[in-house]
Amino acid sequence: MTGITIRAARPKDAAAIARLSAELNEVVNDSTEHCTPENIKATLFFDDTSFHVLVAEKDGEPVCLACLPFRPTYARL
């Protein structure tokens, strides 16, 4: 067992999401100025359901994230 838990991101994860986003942006030489907890809270946690964020946590600390776009056209049966 790996001890990794995957769950939906919560507003209290904003600082960890900002940190993980900044780390990725640094690796790809992209701007990190928008990677702040305040910006994450303002853009991820509101009534827009166009995408969802998952976090993987180990020992209670988020260590990875995934942003999943939701496209209603793909959801039709």
pLDDT tens-digit readout, 20-66: 999 998 999 988 888 899 988 888 877 666 778 899 999 989 999 99
The pTM (predicted TM-score) of the whole model is 0.78
Q: Residue ranges per domain, the chain?
A: 4-75
Amino acid 71: pLDDT: 65
Q: Strand (E) positions, the chain? A: 4-8, 51-58, 61-69
Q: Does domain 4-75 have CATH number 3.40.50.720?
A: no
Task: Dump pLDDT digits (tens) for 4-16.
Answer: 999 999 999 999 9
Beta bridge partners of 65: 55
Q: Looking at residue 11, what DSSP letter applies?
A: G
Dihedral of the CA atoms 19, 24, 25, 26 (nearest 10)?
A: 90
